[in-house]
Amino acid sequence: MTIANLDEMGIEETSFVILDFETVTPKGRPPEPIELAAMRINPGLHIDSQFKFDSLIKPPEGAPITPFDTAQTGIVWEDVRDAALAAAVLAQLEAVLRHNEYIMVAQNARYEATIISRFSKDCPHVARMPFIDTVALAKHLVPGLPDYKLDTLANHLSVDIPVQRHRALPDVEMTVQIFLRLLEIAQTTSKIVRVIDLKHVAGIKMQTGEPIQESLF
């Protein structure tokens, strides 16, 4: 299947992968991932209970986990000291996703997509997949909220906020529920019925060398 063919598929016929990075941001450098999680939504908009990708990541030298990072995520250096580096973790993700075509989904997707782009040689199939931004989708479908952070969307859409908020897998689980609620709204109140419609409203376009943006928690 080509990307063009994927564009014409109905949303309910499509497979989605929702992902989230936790990162540290060394001064003068782009964010470095310290955790990655992903879940899959199968055709029919069914959460794939057999698929959960969750891995800690050892940041490179010069990218310490600061007290602020630990306060946000609960992750300390001892947690990641023996973890694989980002390139290896993204190669693992590539290995489990490379046999199918997916629409990637993330909260403030440009942040995740830019990290994926940096490591595209390790995950070339994943890196060429289109990305949907739940922030942009929510702005289109539920305008007028005070902001479009994950907690705000969860509260508005009656999605539970997990105890371990700001860890990658709990954040992915939240984003999955938010995305599915938004698709419910889209199917009843808008003309978003095909992948191309979804991309038109909430797809992101990456440019080579584009600076990374601050994450919207």
Q: Is residue 81 part of a domain?
A: yes
Q: Is residue 208 part of a domain?
A: no
Q: Is residue 16 part of a domain?
A: yes
Number of domains in the chain: 1
* Neighbour-count burial of 191, counting CB atoms closer than 10 A to its CB (0-12 exposed, 13-18 middle, 19+ buried): exposed
> Residue 210 pLDDT > 60, yes or no?
no
pLDDT the model gives residue 216: 41
113: left (phi over 0), alpha (psi -120 to 50) or beta: alpha
CATH number for the domain spanning 32: value is 3.30.420.10
Q: Is residue 147 part of a domain?
A: yes
Q: Is residue 217 part of a domain?
A: no
What's CA 77's distance to the chain center, in Å? 24
**pTM assigned to the model:** 0.92
**Identity of the residue numbered 24:** V
Question: 3-state DSSP call for residue 146?
Answer: coil
Q: What is the pLDDT of residues 76-132, one digit of tens each?
A: 999 999 999 999 999 999 999 999 999 999 999 999 999 999 999 999 999 999 999
DSSP-derived secondary structure for 104-169? EEETTHHHHHHHHHHTTTT-HHHHTS-EEEHHHHHHHHSTT-S---HHHHHHHTT-PPPTTTTSHH
pLDDT band at residue 188, thresholds of 50, 70 and 90? Answer: confident
Q: What is the pLDDT of residues 36-81, one digit of tens each?
A: 999 999 999 999 999 999 999 999 999 999 999 999 999 999 999 9
> Residue 166 pLDDT > 60, yes or no?
yes
pLDDT the model gives residue 213: 41
> Residue 167 pLDDT > 80, yes or no?
yes
In DSSP terms, 19 is beta-bridged to 38
Q: Is residue 215 part of a domain?
A: no
Within 13 Å and on the Cβ side, how many CA atoms surround 141?
A: 28
Q: Is residue 209 part of a domain?
A: no
Please indicate whether residue 165 or residue 216 has the higher confidence score (pLDDT): 165
Radius of gyration for the alpha carbons in the chain, expressed in angstroms and rounded: 17
Between CA 72 and CA 164 the distance in angstroms is 10
Q: What is the mean pLDDT of the chain?
A: 92
17: left (phi over 0), alpha (psi -120 to 50) or beta: beta
Please indicate whether residue 188 or residue 209 has the higher confidence score (pLDDT): 188
Q: Is residue 86 part of a domain?
A: yes
φ and ψ at residue 9, rounded to 5 degrees: -75, 150
**Enclosing domain of residue 33:** 3-202
